Amino acid sequence: MRLAPWVIGGTEQALREILRFTGPADVTLSRYFREHPKLGSRERSAIAEAVYSLLRHRLVLMHFSESGGGPQLRRIALLALAESSGIEALGGVEEAERLWLTHVLGIDRATLSLAVRSNFPEWIRERLIDQFGQDQAEPLMAALNQPASLDLRVNTVNSTIEQVESALMEAGIPFERTHYAPNALRLRVKPALQNLPIFKQGAIEVQDEGSQLLAHLLGPRRGEMVVDFCAGAGGKTLAIGAMMRNTGRLYAFDISDKRLAKLKPRLARSGLSNVHPVLLAHENDAKVKRLAGKVDRVLVDAPCSGFGTLRRNPDIKWRQQPGDITELCERQLSILNSAARLPKVGGRVVYATCSLLREENQAIIAQFLSQHANYHVIPAREVLLEQKIALDTGEYLQLLPHQHGTDGFFAAVLERSS
């Protein structure tokens, strides 16, 4: 069944807004769909897939769009739709356009220059090559340009992985267990999860396997006092609370009331009663100081460039600028310094980002340790092995999509010795 001819024009309109890069692509796209309520679900899906396909493969498709005839924005829209839905699915395409699409999309992209086929801005591409070497950077960038899988975390407070597997099988939803996180399932399709009883009952949460591993790296125990310092919408908070078996006290800190508001319905579904959301004015809020030296474990999932999540948010690489990284690094160190006041002696801080850049990761840890002689690194491999997770990426946790099938994550375990 072909898409209606006007889907091409709709894609053009959406791309005209998206390519201004004035805000996150998902927000811009949601606004576009609200302004065009007559679009059906199939048309919305086709336009959204085309937009994200262009954002992932922008340099290649823009390169191809330099050929052909007619307005360039139409050529870009046609390429994006053909890339995501297939040429045969397009309605309203002239024969000359169809022949052109068949030709350019049949070009072997390996013959294109790295600057084009990488689909990365030069400054990010160069940093990744410098950090990982070209042999690793190329497959890494290629993996980041692919759509992410849909991972679930089984909420062990009110279910088991076997019960969730049984429910998925009954619903006809194909899945598999992941390699590392013990309560993670990876779906082979993307169903409307919100309609499933297991979702409504709080038995599952959508959470990338890498994000789940951060909770295991923190290693919270029953009855402890734990802080999720940058909780956001609370995905990791809920995972931590479940690992604590709904005991102890778990604070969910954030400076955004809107983000914490998104935690409330998830918290209600989860069955957790040990989570206490706390709105902060800033990282040095008096509410933080009152817990100084009293906490067992702190997770600092710091604000970052987000380059590890490009499979989900491909627009980030086009919206970020080099100067943004400098500002982020200053904030990351400030947040880590504040969070480091919370643990008691023997307590731990896990510093994490969903970035791939050394400046936001290893460099922050090196700078922190140079200023805090009372902290030392516990190798991530040892912490995970204690939980029977056989994953060794060195002293720090370094998850890479082309190697681990997860989003890109970095994490360091820091223990207070005095």
Q: What is the pLDDT along the chain (418 residues), one digit of tens a residue?
A: 899 999 999 999 999 999 999 999 999 999 999 999 999 999 999 999 999 999 999 999 999 999 999 999 999 999 999 999 999 999 999 999 999 999 999 999 999 999 999 999 999 999 999 999 999 999 999 999 999 999 999 999 999 999 999 999 999 999 999 999 999 999 999 999 999 999 999 999 999 999 999 999 999 999 999 999 999 999 999 999 999 999 999 999 999 999 999 999 999 999 999 999 999 999 999 999 999 999 999 999 999 999 999 999 999 999 999 999 999 999 999 999 999 999 999 999 999 999 999 999 999 999 999 999 999 999 999 999 999 999 999 999 999 999 999 999 999 999 999 9
CA separation, residue 386 to residues 216, 219, 345, 411 (Å): 10, 9, 21, 17
- Residues 190 and 43 placed together within one structural domain of the fold: no
Domains of the chain: total = 3
Per-residue pLDDT, 1: 81
pLDDT at residue 189, rounded to an integer = 93
pTM of the shown model: 0.96
Flag whether 60 is in a domain: yes
Among 191, 206, 221, identify where a domain stops: 206
Set 230, 304, 329, 354: catalytic member: 354
Domain end among 119, 141, 168: 119
Does any domain span residue 132? no
The boundaries of the domain holding residue 408 are 209-416
Is 304 an annotated catalytic residue? no
125 in a domain, yes or no? no
Same-domain check for residues 41 and 105: yes
Pair 272, 412 in one domain = yes
Of the candidates 103, 119, 135, which is a domain's last residue?
Answer: 119
257/359 same-domain check: yes
User: What pLDDT is recorded for position 197?
Assistant: 97
Q: Let me know if residue 83 belongs to a domain.
A: yes
Is the CB of residue 90 less than 8 Å from the CB of residue 151? no
Quick one: 44 and 161 in the same domain? no
Give the domain CATH number at 199.
3.30.70.1170
318 and 366 in a single domain? The answer is: yes
In a domain, 409, yes or no: yes
